Amino acid sequence: MIRNKYYYLVAGLPEITLEQGKLQFSTEQLREELKQDLSPEDFRLFEMLFLAEDNSNLLSLLLKEDRPLSAKGVYQPEMLAAEIKEPRTLMNYMRLFIESLSAENRLYPSLSPQNELTLLYYREMLEVKNNFMRSWFGFELNLRNVLLVLSAKKNGLPYENQVIAANSLADSMRRSSARDLGLASEWPWIDRLLQIIEIPDLLQREKAIDMLRWNFLDEQNTFNYFTVEVLIAFYIKLGIIERWLRLDPATGEELFRNLLGTLQNSYEFPNEFNIKDGRK
Protein backbone atom coordinates (compact mmCIF):
# COMPACT_ATOMS: atom_id res chain seq x y z
CA MET A 1 0.00 0.00 0.00
CA ILE A 2 1.31 3.45 -0.96
CA ARG A 3 1.68 5.67 2.10
CA ASN A 4 1.05 9.40 2.04
CA LYS A 5 4.08 11.62 2.56
CA TYR A 6 3.66 14.98 4.28
CA TYR A 7 6.97 16.69 3.52
CA TYR A 8 6.02 20.33 3.97
CA LEU A 9 3.76 19.64 6.92
CA VAL A 10 6.46 17.78 8.86
CA ALA A 11 9.16 20.26 7.81
CA GLY A 12 7.03 23.13 9.16
CA LEU A 13 6.55 21.63 12.62
CA PRO A 14 9.65 23.28 14.19
CA GLU A 15 8.05 26.67 13.55
CA ILE A 16 5.95 26.12 16.68
CA THR A 17 7.13 28.58 19.34
CA LEU A 18 6.96 29.02 23.09
CA GLU A 19 6.42 32.46 24.57
CA GLN A 20 5.91 33.45 28.22
CA GLY A 21 5.44 29.84 29.27
CA LYS A 22 2.71 29.16 26.69
CA LEU A 23 2.75 27.33 23.39
CA GLN A 24 1.84 29.57 20.49
CA PHE A 25 0.46 26.57 18.58
CA SER A 26 -1.62 24.15 20.64
CA THR A 27 -2.71 20.55 20.13
CA GLU A 28 -6.18 21.88 19.39
CA GLN A 29 -4.85 24.10 16.59
CA LEU A 30 -2.67 21.29 15.27
CA ARG A 31 -5.68 19.01 15.23
CA GLU A 32 -7.64 21.46 13.07
CA GLU A 33 -4.72 21.90 10.68
CA LEU A 34 -4.23 18.17 10.33
CA LYS A 35 -7.92 17.68 9.68
CA GLN A 36 -7.49 19.86 6.61
CA ASP A 37 -4.12 18.52 5.46
CA LEU A 38 -4.24 14.77 6.09
CA SER A 39 -6.01 12.24 3.94
CA PRO A 40 -9.34 11.09 5.48
CA GLU A 41 -7.84 7.67 6.15
CA ASP A 42 -4.84 9.11 8.00
CA PHE A 43 -6.97 11.52 10.01
CA ARG A 44 -9.08 8.58 11.20
CA LEU A 45 -5.90 7.29 12.83
CA PHE A 46 -5.60 10.60 14.67
CA GLU A 47 -9.19 10.34 15.84
CA MET A 48 -8.28 7.25 17.84
CA LEU A 49 -6.32 9.56 20.15
CA PHE A 50 -9.45 11.62 20.82
CA LEU A 51 -11.60 8.65 21.87
CA ALA A 52 -10.47 9.01 25.49
CA GLU A 53 -12.58 12.18 25.65
CA ASP A 54 -15.57 10.31 24.21
CA ASN A 55 -15.10 7.52 26.76
CA SER A 56 -15.25 10.04 29.59
CA ASN A 57 -18.36 11.65 28.11
CA LEU A 58 -20.02 8.30 27.57
CA LEU A 59 -19.49 7.30 31.20
CA SER A 60 -20.84 10.60 32.44
CA LEU A 61 -23.97 10.34 30.29
CA LEU A 62 -24.71 6.72 31.15
CA LEU A 63 -24.00 7.13 34.87
CA LYS A 64 -25.83 10.49 34.92
CA GLU A 65 -22.88 12.34 36.40
CA ASP A 66 -23.29 16.07 36.86
CA ARG A 67 -20.18 17.45 35.20
CA PRO A 68 -19.32 19.38 32.01
CA LEU A 69 -18.81 17.26 28.91
CA SER A 70 -15.80 17.64 26.65
CA ALA A 71 -16.15 18.80 23.04
CA LYS A 72 -12.68 17.43 22.14
CA GLY A 73 -13.73 13.89 21.28
CA VAL A 74 -14.62 12.34 17.96
CA TYR A 75 -18.33 12.68 18.74
CA GLN A 76 -19.97 15.88 19.91
CA PRO A 77 -21.72 15.42 23.29
CA GLU A 78 -25.18 16.00 21.78
CA MET A 79 -24.59 13.33 19.16
CA LEU A 80 -23.25 10.93 21.75
CA ALA A 81 -26.33 11.43 23.93
CA ALA A 82 -28.59 10.70 20.95
CA GLU A 83 -26.57 7.63 19.97
CA ILE A 84 -26.91 6.17 23.47
CA LYS A 85 -30.65 5.84 22.88
CA GLU A 86 -30.18 4.10 19.54
CA PRO A 87 -26.53 3.33 18.68
CA ARG A 88 -25.87 3.38 14.95
CA THR A 89 -22.57 5.05 14.10
CA LEU A 90 -20.57 4.65 17.31
CA MET A 91 -17.41 2.57 17.56
CA ASN A 92 -18.13 -1.10 18.15
CA TYR A 93 -16.68 -1.09 21.68
CA MET A 94 -18.99 1.78 22.63
CA ARG A 95 -22.05 -0.08 21.40
CA LEU A 96 -20.99 -3.18 23.35
CA PHE A 97 -20.55 -1.10 26.49
CA ILE A 98 -23.94 0.62 26.15
CA GLU A 99 -25.63 -2.74 25.66
CA SER A 100 -23.74 -4.29 28.58
CA LEU A 101 -24.52 -1.48 31.01
CA SER A 102 -28.24 -1.58 30.18
CA ALA A 103 -28.47 -5.39 30.17
CA GLU A 104 -29.56 -7.50 33.10
CA ASN A 105 -26.28 -9.42 32.92
CA ARG A 106 -23.24 -7.25 32.22
CA LEU A 107 -20.35 -8.51 30.12
CA TYR A 108 -17.89 -8.02 33.00
CA PRO A 109 -19.86 -7.78 36.25
CA SER A 110 -16.71 -7.91 38.41
CA LEU A 111 -15.38 -4.71 36.83
CA SER A 112 -16.39 -1.14 37.50
CA PRO A 113 -18.16 0.52 34.55
CA GLN A 114 -15.04 2.61 33.90
CA ASN A 115 -12.77 -0.44 33.80
CA GLU A 116 -15.22 -2.35 31.61
CA LEU A 117 -15.28 0.48 29.08
CA THR A 118 -11.49 0.78 29.20
CA LEU A 119 -11.13 -2.97 28.60
CA LEU A 120 -13.43 -2.90 25.57
CA TYR A 121 -11.69 0.22 24.26
CA TYR A 122 -8.19 -1.26 24.41
CA ARG A 123 -9.29 -4.53 22.89
CA GLU A 124 -10.54 -2.67 19.84
CA MET A 125 -7.53 -0.36 19.64
CA LEU A 126 -5.16 -3.35 19.75
CA GLU A 127 -6.80 -4.63 16.57
CA VAL A 128 -6.13 -1.50 14.50
CA LYS A 129 -4.26 -2.25 11.27
CA ASN A 130 -1.69 0.52 11.59
CA ASN A 131 1.43 -0.91 13.28
CA PHE A 132 2.44 2.35 14.95
CA MET A 133 -0.98 2.94 16.51
CA ARG A 134 -1.30 -0.67 17.61
CA SER A 135 2.14 -0.48 19.25
CA TRP A 136 1.32 2.83 20.95
CA PHE A 137 -1.93 1.59 22.46
CA GLY A 138 -0.24 -1.64 23.50
CA PHE A 139 2.52 0.32 25.21
CA GLU A 140 0.04 2.58 27.01
CA LEU A 141 -2.00 -0.42 28.18
CA ASN A 142 1.08 -2.27 29.43
CA LEU A 143 2.50 0.82 31.13
CA ARG A 144 -0.81 1.51 32.85
CA ASN A 145 -1.13 -2.06 34.09
CA VAL A 146 2.47 -2.35 35.29
CA LEU A 147 2.26 0.91 37.23
CA LEU A 148 -1.01 -0.17 38.81
CA VAL A 149 0.22 -3.63 39.86
CA LEU A 150 3.58 -2.41 41.17
CA SER A 151 1.95 0.41 43.15
CA ALA A 152 -0.70 -1.92 44.57
CA LYS A 153 1.89 -4.51 45.59
CA LYS A 154 4.04 -1.84 47.21
CA ASN A 155 1.11 -0.57 49.28
CA GLY A 156 -0.55 -3.94 49.96
CA LEU A 157 -3.71 -3.11 48.00
CA PRO A 158 -5.90 -5.47 45.92
CA TYR A 159 -5.58 -5.03 42.18
CA GLU A 160 -7.07 -8.11 40.48
CA ASN A 161 -10.16 -6.28 39.21
CA GLN A 162 -8.23 -3.11 38.37
CA VAL A 163 -5.87 -4.63 35.80
CA ILE A 164 -7.16 -4.01 32.26
CA ALA A 165 -6.87 -7.54 30.86
CA ALA A 166 -7.01 -6.60 27.18
CA ASN A 167 -3.99 -8.74 26.26
CA SER A 168 -2.30 -11.93 27.44
CA LEU A 169 0.50 -10.09 29.26
CA ALA A 170 -2.04 -8.47 31.57
CA ASP A 171 -3.07 -11.88 32.89
CA SER A 172 0.58 -12.87 33.30
CA MET A 173 1.48 -9.84 35.40
CA ARG A 174 -1.65 -10.25 37.49
CA ARG A 175 -0.52 -13.74 38.53
CA SER A 176 3.22 -13.10 38.81
CA SER A 177 4.97 -12.79 42.17
CA ALA A 178 8.32 -11.76 40.61
CA ARG A 179 9.68 -8.27 41.24
CA ASP A 180 9.65 -7.53 37.50
CA LEU A 181 6.28 -9.32 37.10
CA GLY A 182 8.05 -11.80 34.83
CA LEU A 183 8.22 -9.20 32.07
CA ALA A 184 11.96 -8.50 31.74
CA SER A 185 12.23 -10.56 28.55
CA GLU A 186 9.14 -8.91 27.05
CA TRP A 187 9.74 -5.24 27.87
CA PRO A 188 13.26 -3.80 27.91
CA TRP A 189 11.95 -0.78 29.81
CA ILE A 190 10.68 -2.73 32.84
CA ASP A 191 13.94 -2.28 34.79
CA ARG A 192 13.79 1.46 34.24
CA LEU A 193 10.19 1.51 35.41
CA LEU A 194 11.13 -0.37 38.59
CA GLN A 195 13.61 2.43 39.28
CA ILE A 196 11.09 5.14 38.45
CA ILE A 197 8.46 4.01 40.95
CA GLU A 198 11.04 4.39 43.72
CA ILE A 199 11.56 8.10 42.97
CA PRO A 200 10.16 9.89 46.05
CA ASP A 201 9.35 13.21 44.36
CA LEU A 202 5.97 12.93 42.61
CA LEU A 203 6.75 15.43 39.84
CA GLN A 204 10.09 13.83 39.06
CA ARG A 205 8.44 10.42 38.98
CA GLU A 206 5.75 11.63 36.58
CA LYS A 207 8.37 13.29 34.39
CA ALA A 208 10.35 10.05 34.18
CA ILE A 209 7.21 8.14 33.15
CA ASP A 210 6.48 10.67 30.42
CA MET A 211 10.06 10.34 29.19
CA LEU A 212 9.43 6.61 28.80
CA ARG A 213 6.52 7.51 26.54
CA TRP A 214 8.64 10.07 24.69
CA ASN A 215 11.47 7.60 24.07
CA PHE A 216 9.05 4.88 22.97
CA LEU A 217 7.60 7.21 20.33
CA ASP A 218 11.10 8.01 19.06
CA GLU A 219 11.99 4.33 18.82
CA GLN A 220 8.81 3.51 16.94
CA ASN A 221 9.54 6.24 14.39
CA THR A 222 13.20 5.37 13.82
CA PHE A 223 12.54 4.50 10.18
CA ASN A 224 9.49 6.69 9.56
CA TYR A 225 10.08 9.89 7.58
CA PHE A 226 7.40 12.43 6.70
CA THR A 227 4.61 9.93 7.33
CA VAL A 228 1.45 10.24 9.40
CA GLU A 229 3.19 8.36 12.22
CA VAL A 230 5.66 11.22 12.64
CA LEU A 231 2.76 13.66 12.94
CA ILE A 232 0.91 11.45 15.42
CA ALA A 233 4.02 11.22 17.62
CA PHE A 234 4.48 14.98 17.41
CA TYR A 235 0.85 15.53 18.47
CA ILE A 236 1.26 13.21 21.47
CA LYS A 237 4.49 14.93 22.49
CA LEU A 238 2.88 18.34 22.14
CA GLY A 239 0.14 17.14 24.51
CA ILE A 240 2.79 16.04 27.02
CA ILE A 241 4.40 19.49 26.81
CA GLU A 242 1.05 21.24 27.35
CA ARG A 243 0.44 19.13 30.45
CA TRP A 244 3.87 19.95 31.88
CA LEU A 245 3.55 23.66 31.18
CA ARG A 246 0.56 23.54 33.53
CA LEU A 247 2.20 21.31 36.14
CA ASP A 248 5.78 22.59 36.06
CA PRO A 249 6.73 25.28 33.50
CA ALA A 250 10.46 24.52 33.71
CA THR A 251 9.89 20.88 32.73
CA GLY A 252 7.49 21.95 29.99
CA GLU A 253 10.08 24.30 28.48
CA GLU A 254 12.76 21.61 28.70
CA LEU A 255 10.56 19.14 26.83
CA PHE A 256 9.70 21.79 24.26
CA ARG A 257 13.38 22.39 23.48
CA ASN A 258 13.86 18.63 23.31
CA LEU A 259 11.05 18.34 20.78
CA LEU A 260 12.38 21.06 18.51
CA GLY A 261 15.95 19.80 18.73
CA THR A 262 14.88 16.30 17.77
CA LEU A 263 12.96 17.53 14.75
CA GLN A 264 15.69 19.86 13.54
CA ASN A 265 18.33 17.14 13.80
CA SER A 266 16.23 14.34 12.35
CA TYR A 267 14.49 15.68 9.26
CA GLU A 268 16.13 17.27 6.27
CA PHE A 269 13.72 18.48 3.62
CA PRO A 270 14.35 16.55 0.37
CA ASN A 271 15.29 18.95 -2.45
CA GLU A 272 14.10 16.57 -5.13
CA PHE A 273 10.48 17.10 -4.11
CA ASN A 274 9.10 20.33 -5.46
CA ILE A 275 5.52 20.16 -4.21
CA LYS A 276 3.13 22.55 -2.55
CA ASP A 277 0.34 20.51 -0.99
CA GLY A 278 2.30 18.37 1.47
CA ARG A 279 1.40 15.04 -0.10
CA LYS A 280 2.82 12.76 -2.69
| Residues ≥6 apart with Cβ < 8 Å to 184 | 190, 191
Does 58 share its domain with 15?
no
Over 60: is that where the pLDDT of 273 sits?
no
**What dihedral angle (degrees, nearest 10) is formed by the CA atoms of 131, 133, 139, 140?**
-170
Over 50: is that where the pLDDT of 129 sits?
yes
Of the two residues 18 and 37, the one the predictor is more confident about is 37
Does 205 share its domain with 268?
yes
The answer to whether residue 151 is domain-embedded is no
The answer to whether residue 243 is domain-embedded is yes
Over 70: is that where the pLDDT of 275 sits?
no
For residue 87, give its domain range. 51-125
Radius of gyration from C-alpha coordinates of the chain:
20
The answer to whether residue 135 is domain-embedded is no
The answer to whether residue 183 is domain-embedded is no
- Whole-model pTM: value is 0.86
Does 12 share its domain with 58?
no
The answer to whether residue 227 is domain-embedded is yes
The DSSP code sequence of 6-51 is -HHHHHTGGG--EETTEESS-HHHHHHHHHHHS-HHHHHHHHHHHH
The answer to whether residue 215 is domain-embedded is yes
Over 70: is that where the pLDDT of 235 sits?
yes
Does 25 share its domain with 67?
no
Percent of the chain with pLDDT over 70: 89
User: How far is the C-alpha of 187 from the C-alpha of 82, rounded, in Å?
Assistant: 42
**What dihedral angle (degrees, nearest 10) is formed by the CA atoms of 114, 119, 121, 127?**
180
Please give the single-letter amino acid code of residue 264: Q
Over 50: is that where the pLDDT of 127 sits?
yes
Over 50: is that where the pLDDT of 268 sits?
no
pLDDT (0 to 100) of residue 92:
96
Does 236 share its domain with 206?
yes
Confidence of residue 18 (pLDDT cuts 50, 70, 90): low
The number of domains in the chain is 2
Does 205 share its domain with 280?
yes
Of 35-44, 181-190, 234-243, minimum mean pLDDT range: 181-190
Exposed, middle or buried: residue 146 (CB in 10 Å: 0-12, 13-18, 19+)?
Answer: buried
pLDDT (0 to 100) of residue 175:
79
The answer to whether residue 207 is domain-embedded is yes
pLDDT (0 to 100) of residue 128:
95
Average per-residue pLDDT in the chain?
Answer: 85
Over 60: is that where the pLDDT of 80 sits?
yes
pLDDT (0 to 100) of residue 15:
57
Does 205 share its domain with 235?
yes
Of 32-36, 64-68, 97-101, 262-266, minimum mean pLDDT range: 262-266
Confidence of residue 107 (pLDDT cuts 50, 70, 90): very high
- DSSP 8-state symbol, 69: P
Please give the single-letter amino acid code of residue 185: S
The answer to whether 29 and 249 have CB atoms below 8 angstroms apart is no
Q: Which one of 77, 105, 125 terminates a domain?
A: 125
Does 5 share its domain with 70?
no
Over 70: is that where the pLDDT of 176 sits?
yes
Mean pLDDT confidence for 232-261: 86
Over 90: is that where the pLDDT of 112 sits?
yes
The answer to whether 57 and 73 have CB atoms below 8 angstroms apart is yes
Does 30 share its domain with 55?
no
Does 55 share its domain with 22?
no
Percent of the chain with pLDDT over 90: 48
Q: Which one of 72, 99, 125 terminates a domain?
A: 125
Does 218 share its domain with 280?
yes
Does 239 share its domain with 261?
yes
User: How far is the C-alpha of 83 from the C-alpha of 94, rounded, in Å?
Assistant: 10
The answer to whether residue 111 is domain-embedded is yes
pLDDT (0 to 100) of residue 158:
85
Q: Which one of 107, 125, 143 terminates a domain?
A: 125
pLDDT (0 to 100) of residue 151:
87
| Residues ≥6 apart with Cβ < 8 Å to 52 | 73
